[in-house]
Amino acid sequence: MNPKTDFLITRPSVLRGISKIIDLGAVSSHKYNSSKNSEEADYRALKNDWLMTGKDMKDSLNEFKKENAEYVK
């Protein structure tokens, strides 16, 4: 599972980039991933923040164990 989210940004693509070049009048709009309401958006963002915090802590602990294998069981 990849806990990183992109629900607050647009998803880039080659076609979107080409259309952006052609769209000199800035007529096209980008569709952002959206939530049903602000509470859901806050929930999703906060949940993702804590998932990433947990992942960072786990990665740090594993790196510490690797670097200090002689001291850690």
pLDDT digits (tens, 9 = 90+) for 30-59: 555 678 888 998 998 899 999 999 999 999
Contact between 7 and 35 under an 8 Å Cβ cutoff? The reply is yes
63 has pLDDT over 80: yes
Please tell me the predicted confidence (pLDDT) of residue 23: 66
Which segment, 6-15, 33-42, 50-59, 64-73, is predicted with the most confidence on average?
50-59
